[in-house]
């Protein structure tokens, strides 16, 4: 089968690879119909993800059709239309029992990382019963690809951890796909203000269209001052970090109101400065989280009832044999204005 393979630092190829097989009774093989590329895939190619070794088929998002199941799979059968979670969950370990699927002792984020992923014609899904979700007939596949990772990540790590409330004031630092996913899902809770902060005016334009009540281009280094001015010097109830570098996290520290929350989504490669000398008495919380995808069933319901339109995030579409073009487009988002690209397998 065709598959996008990580070859070496900065190198990838669309290769021919053997179709995966069931290796454990709880596995399923899924024929991919649609997948996508994540910012994390770009990080892997840059060598930022030590656990992912050359030779790996990338990709941890997608929808497809069940091609075969192991003897221990009871929820799914051949021909089922399914959504793939980016996180595999055994449903049995200490962490799964606490709904912390991200830390499943035999799962977590392994797809396209420590085992082969979804940017291929077929993928093996371990712990299939707790890692796949049935798609009702007649549902739009493309929209659901956004539920594999990006929407639950924005929602769980940003919105839920950030305790967004009716009437509250939210700032989201980073208006890339993940920040926009937080923006879309924050609106489930009817905050009064959502301030979107980024360096790219195009992305801020998109944010406006997606529901941001105001935007700040932070390239002048004065975003903190701008937020404080907008909030009568009070700061924001929730500051969501959706970039993953020290400057953006430290911006969140400056704008969080007393009693507020900093919800980190960004993948950080280095330490940040935590200014406890000003924050120790401000009654704030800071949270980190690798998405658990426990909200996929809830998100399904919000999609079906049209409380959210995940397709807003999709800007480009490619066939699997053009996936290198898709990477090109996604990797140059500032020029191509790409958010999420759909790969049709």
Q: Which residue has the tokens 């004065």?
A: 222
Q: By C-beta, is 194 or 343 nearer to its own copies?
A: 194
Q: Are the CB atoms for 234 and 257 separated by under 8 Å? A: yes
Q: By C-beta, is 217 or 287 nearer to its own copies?
A: 287
How many angstroms from the chain centroid is the CA of residue 319? 22
Q: Which stretch binds its own copies (CB under 8 A): 58-66, 78-86, 189-197, 320-328?
A: 189-197
Could you say which of 10, 16, 18, 301 contacts its own copies (CB under 8 A)? 301
Residue 276 binds its own copies, judged by CB under 8 A: yes
Could you say which of 11, 97, 222, 319 contacts its own copies (CB under 8 A)? 97
Q: Which stretch binds its own copies (CB under 8 A): 34-42, 113-121, 220-228, 283-291?
A: 283-291
Token duo for residue 77? 């059968």
CA end-to-end span of the chain, whole Å? Answer: 11
Q: Is 256 exposed, middle or buried (0-12, 13-18, 19+ CB in 10 A)?
A: buried
310-339: which residues touch its own copies (CB under 8 A)? none
- Which residues are CB-contacts of 262 (< 8 A; sequence separation ≥ 6)? 162, 239, 240, 241, 249, 252, 253, 256, 284, 285, 286, 287
Least CB distance from residue 221 to its own copies, whole Å?
Answer: 19
Could you say which of 297, 317, 321, 324 contacts its own copies (CB under 8 A)? 297
Distance CA 44, CA 341 (A): 18
Residue 165 binds its own copies, judged by CB under 8 A: yes
Token duo for residue 304? 């079906």
Task: For residue 314, list its beta bridge partners.
Answer: 340
Could you say which of 46, 98, 229, 332 contacts its own copies (CB under 8 A)? 98
Residue 288 DSSP one-character state? -
Least CB distance from residue 262 to its own copies, whole Å?
Answer: 9
- Which residues are CB-contacts of 271 (< 8 A; sequence separation ≥ 6)? 246
Q: By C-beta, is 155 or 327 nearer to its own copies?
A: 155
Distance CA 173, CA 256 (A): 12
Q: Which stretch binds its own copies (CB under 8 A): 9-17, 85-93, 114-122, 337-345?
A: 85-93
Q: How many residues lie near its own copies (CB under 8 A)?
A: 73
Could you say which of 28, 82, 100, 341 contacts its own copies (CB under 8 A)? 100
The site map against its own copies for 236-275 (x = CB under 8 A) is --------x----x--------xx----x-xxxxxxxxxx
Give φ, ψ of 226 to 5 degrees.
-60, -40
Could you say which of 40, 113, 119, 168 contacts its own copies (CB under 8 A)? 168
- Which residues are CB-contacts of 325 (< 8 A; sequence separation ≥ 6)? 318
Q: By C-beta, is 55 or 259 nearer to its own copies?
A: 259
Least CB distance from residue 116 to its own copies, whole Å?
Answer: 21
27-66: which residues touch its own copies (CB under 8 A)? none
Residue 202 binds its own copies, judged by CB under 8 A: no
Distance CA 241, CA 248 (A): 7
Could you say which of 23, 51, 74, 202 contacts its own copies (CB under 8 A)? 74
Q: Give which of 102, 67, 64, 101 is closest to 84, Cα–Cα.
A: 64
Residue 78 binds its own copies, judged by CB under 8 A: no
110-139: which residues touch its own copies (CB under 8 A)? 129-130
How many residues appear in the chain? 345
């Amino acid at each position: 089968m065709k598959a996008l393979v990580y070859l070496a630092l900065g190198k990838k190829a669309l290769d021919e690879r053997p179709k995966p097989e069931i290796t454990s009774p709880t596995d399923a093989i899924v024929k991919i119909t649609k997948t996508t590329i994540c910012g994390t895939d770009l990080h892997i190619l840059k060598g930022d993800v030590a656990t992912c070794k050359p030779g790996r088929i990338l990709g941890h998002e997608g929808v497809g059709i069940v091609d075969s199941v192991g003897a221990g799979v009871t929820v799914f059968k051949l021909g089922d239309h399914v959504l793939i979670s980016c996180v595999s969950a055994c449903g049995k370990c200490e962490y799964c029992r606490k709904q912390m699927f991200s830390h499943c002792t035999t799962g977590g984020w392994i797809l396209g990382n420590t085992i082969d992923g979804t940017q291929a014609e077929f993928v093996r899904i371990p712990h299939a019963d707790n890692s796949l979700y049935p798609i009702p007939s007649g549902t739009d596949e493309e929209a659901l690809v956004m539920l594999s990772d990006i929407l639950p990540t924005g929602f769980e790590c940003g919105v839920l951890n950030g305790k967004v409330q009716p009437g509250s004031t939210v700032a989201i630092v980073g208006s890339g796909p993940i920040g926009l996913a937080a923006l879309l899902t924050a609106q489930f809770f009817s905050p009064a203000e959502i301030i979107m902060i980024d360096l790219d005016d195009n992305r801020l334009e998109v944010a406006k269209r997606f529901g941001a009540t105001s935007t700040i281009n932070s390239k002048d280094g004065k975003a903190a001052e701008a937020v404080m001015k907008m909030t009568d010097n009070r700061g924001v109830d929730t500051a969501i970090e959706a970039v993953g570098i020290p400057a953006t996290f430290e911006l969140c520290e400056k704008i969080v109101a007393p009693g507020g929350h900093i919800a980190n989504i960004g993948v950080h490669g280095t330490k940040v400065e935590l200014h406890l000398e000003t924050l120790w008495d401000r009654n704030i919380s800071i949270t980190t989280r690798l998405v658990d995808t426990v909200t996929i069933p809830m998100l399904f319901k919000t999609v079906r009832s049209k409380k959210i339109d995940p397709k807003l995030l999709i800007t480009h579409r490619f066939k699997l044999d053009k996936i290198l073009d898709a990477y090109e487009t996604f990797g140059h988002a500032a020029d191509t204005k790409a958010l999420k690209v759909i790969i049709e397998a």
